Amino acid sequence: MVIRRGVCGGSNMSKASHPYFVGVDVGTGSARAALVASDGRVLEQAVQEIQTWTPEPHYYEQSSEDIWRAICQVVKHVIAGVNKSQVKGIGFDATCSLVVLGPQGAPLTVSKSGEAERNIILWMDHRAEEETAKINATKHPLLKYVGGQVSLEMEVPKLLWLKRNLSKTFTNIWRVFDLPDFLTWRATDVDTRSLCSVVCKWNYDAANNSWNKEFLKQADLEELTLKNFEKLGSDVQPPGRKVGKGLSAKAAAELGLAPGTVVSTSLIDAHAGALGMFGCRAKGSQDEKDDVQGKMALIAGTSTCHMSITRDACFAQGVWGPYQDAIIPGYYLNEGGQSIAGHLLDHVLKTHEAYAELKTKLGADKNIYQHLNNLLPELAAARGISEVSCLTQDVHVWPDLHGNRSPIADPTLRGIITGLDMTRGIESLAIKYLSFVQALAYGTRHIIENLYQHKRAPFQTLLFCGGLAKNPLYVQCHADICNLPALIPDEQEMVLVGAAALGAAASGHFNSLESASKAMGGSGQLLKPNPKTLEFHNRKYKVFLKLLENQRQYRLIMQGEQL
């Protein structure tokens, strides 16, 4: 376990009379918890790795019991220095992964191995490709809320895969949960579902406040419509609402908290980050309006999610949503995303021939990304180039090695790189790294421009949190390429802040989720775009779009079609 101490030491904290809130975040590879003050300061945090099985390519499986054990460990650590009575609420967020439970709530396998422990299909699992195509072929009107087609990362295709491939599991389902909702159920013994999870990942009809029986029948999942959609959950609540009577006695003992501690309805992890960041403002900002519509929140980690909310619904092809009330009541959410981002950059570095040399040269304690970021200006100076960006004048990348989530919504797309030469070693790695960082930013610009084509209100600011937000090159490239200022919250653990804000709102400490976000969002540093690179990036963006066009043409040629 990794424990990070915050601004308050444990012994001093126990003397305080202030209320505290616990935020729990389950990401792709770890469970985290934080003790958060009512002003959004993260006081204590801890991290525990969780297990993932990869039995074959594109299959990713986890264990709900393993995750719950990890949560209990990290929560106990972060609250060790305070009195239980000071913790007024707890909020959970997690990846949008599918949890399957059998009779009496026991884990039910999703694995061909038959191991009951492996009862979660991870969000990034791509096994349900055929099932996704079948559901999209129905062209059901509900699909307009997911950019025209469901993603194979969502839950309904995965459920259809279970029915087709693990019929015994499917037949014995007692409940299926999105992972965030499993956590609130496990904490309270009350079966509620967050509107965030069901509308964003389960094709719940928020406009009519109900599951859509016709949609599930056309998806060949009529069994899930029985007994008032019991297996899917019939009690759907907006984020930030109190669940039942709070922590059950059993869960409270496991977490080290008091029974009855308020538990909030949950959020998906990226959505929790967006909630935390939407309330963030630039240092010294005098803008009283601070219109949340003008903000795009990028939760940039293993994958990147692009979150923005509007007062009026925006239907954009290839971008998920508009999801009504999915984060903050009264607003519609649009969600774009890149299926791999941080994972992509790791892949680019670790598969390059110079990676081992660089790792040996720097030693285990050095940050390779920081070294490359420092090396790039030296390379530019040596080549007589005034701007680092221009090192990629002749190197262009389409970055979808794991398919495109937004705005093309095509999981079969693959990556392209042009401009390869005979350069070897660390210099070659640095240029390739820069090219892929830029490509991710061009992908963000592609999402933004797609939203603009569908009449979305203009953006004023990009906000960043997550692992990639700590990489200044990644953030600056986004500011330059999208020609928008980038706001970096002083508190980088905004996903945990968002989770804690759920608990703060549910406990009644704030009168709404929006007011909790504003009170706990804090401030941040504003990074402005570099006007000197604008024209260069405009040209490279045209090449970026041409790479997509070319890939489509290559496929047609290989299919024997005339262009």
Q: Choose among 443, 447, 269: nearest CA to 340.
A: 443
- Is the pLDDT reported for residue 546 higher than 80? yes
d(CA 248, CA 436): 47
pLDDT at 287: 62
Q: Cα separations (Å) of 371 from 203, 431, 447, 464, 501?
A: 44, 13, 30, 22, 36
Task: Name which of 112-116, 337-341, 364-368, 518-522 the model is least confident about.
Answer: 364-368
Q: In this structure, what token pair is assigned to residue 166?
A: 């693990």
β-strands 175-178, 304-310 pairing: unpaired
Kindly give the residue spans of alpha helices, DSSP state H, lying in 337-490: 342-350, 355-362, 368-382, 425-453, 472-482
Boundaries of every domain in the chain: 342-442+532-558
β-strands 262-263, 87-94 pairing: parallel
Strand, helix or coil for residue 131:
helix
Strand, helix or coil for residue 553:
helix
Strand, helix or coil for residue 117:
coil
Q: In this structure, what token pair is assigned to residue 241?
A: 């609402």
What is the CB-side half-sphere exposure of residue 207 using CA atoms within 13 A? 10
Fold of 342-442+532-558: Methane Monooxygenase Hydroxylase; Chain G, domain 1 (1.20.58)
Mean pLDDT of 82-104: 97
Q: Which residues pair with 399 in a beta bridge?
A: none
- Is the pLDDT reported for residue 4 higher than 70? no
pLDDT by residue (tens digit) across 28-64?
A: 999 999 999 999 999 999 999 999 999 999 999 999 9
Residue 248: left if φ>0, alpha if ψ -120 to 50, beta else—which one? beta
The band of 23, judged by pLDDT with boundaries at 50, 70 and 90, is very high
The band of 317, judged by pLDDT with boundaries at 50, 70 and 90, is confident
Q: Is the peptide bond before 407 cis (omega within 30 degrees of 0)?
A: yes
- Percent of the chain predicted with pLDDT > 90: 90
pTM recorded for the entire structure = 0.88
- Percent of the chain predicted with pLDDT > 70: 96
Cβ–Cβ contacts within 10 Å for residue 103, how many?
A: 9
d(CA 334, CA 96): 16
Q: In this structure, what token pair is assigned to residue 442?
A: 């061009």
Q: Which residue has the tokens 């650590």?
A: 77
Task: Name which of 4-13, 128-137, 245-254 the model is least confident about.
Answer: 4-13
Per 3-state DSSP, the chain is made up of helix, strand and coil in percentages (nearest 5) of 40, 20, 40
- Is the pLDDT reported for residue 26 higher than 60? yes
- Is the pLDDT reported for residue 9 higher than 60? no
Helix (H) or strand (E) holding 255: helix 249-255
Mean pLDDT of 129-153: 95
pLDDT at 286: 63
